[in-house]
Amino acid sequence: MKVMGAKQMLAIAALGTVAASSGCRSDVLDLTVDLQPEVYAADFGASPGTIPVDACTPSDPGSCQLPGVVIDGATPTTGVQVSVGCDPSTLRCFAQAQARTSITVDVLMDDNFTSAVERRAISFVRIVDLAYTVPVNTLTFDLPSVSVYAGPEGSTTETDPGVAPIGATAVISAGTVVTEPLHLTLADGTMARSLIEGSIQNERPFVVIFVASPRLESGDPVPGGAVEIHLAPRLLLGFPR
């Protein structure tokens, strides 16, 4: 019987360690991909003044009328509106703002994704993380939050078929920028997570929809200014073993 030398025994032990570690770890073939950043922009224009503090009449639309209360968005994909009304419970005027936009994410058009995945088939998506910053903020009002949704290709509003909530951003204070990324992470089992995972596996685009609906009360400035939220999606992908 041939006796192995010390070097041979060490080599076999090292190979055994590599094989064991590869067999036990489930993430050996997983890959993190940073998709190209997307931008949500909402421009409310110049604030035309303050919301009246005098008592108003709910039955009289003109009692809260202000010039320039309907404002068009700065980009074709951004719908921004501001309307003023009289609250029947307080008899005071209020302003209701709404900004909505949809962004299509097509992984097949993303260089980072295509170069990382190449021809490999994706078996599952382990993590979907949406990091966001607010580098531009000249708003005249606090933005309580921005609701974020995911939808199939072609979706434009949060009420479209198949659209599911992702989450909401933190409060964005008037004029305050956010440079340190904050995160929205999609948990397993959620409709939005399943939709995004299915879209990526089937090589189909998906849509991210942003909706902001702040309400301002009597004495506050009529909504004005602009905001940009920069979204940086990150995926942790799994491949067939």
> Which pLDDT score is estimated for 38?
83
| pLDDT at residue number 164 | 93
pLDDT, tens digit (0-9, with 9 covering 90-100), for 1-18 = 444 444 443 343 433 433
pTM score, two decimals?
0.73
Q: What is the mean pLDDT of the chain?
A: 77
pLDDT tens digits, 87-126? 999 999 998 888 888 888 887 776 666 666 665 655 566 6
Q: What is the 3-state secondary structure (H, E, C) of the chain?
A: CCCCCHHHHHHHHHHHHHHHHHHHCCCCCCEEEECCCEEEEEECCCCCCECCCCCCCCCCHHHHCCCCCCCCCCCCCEEEEEEEEEECCCCEEEEEEEEEEEEEECHHHCHHHHHHHCCCCCCEEEEEEEEEEEEEECCCCCECCCEEEEEECCCCCCCCCCCEEEEECCCECCCCCEEEEEEEEECCCCHHHHHHHHHHHCCCCEEEEEEECCEEECCCECCCCEEEEEEEEEEEEECCC
Residue 229 near residue 40 (C-beta atoms within 8 A): yes
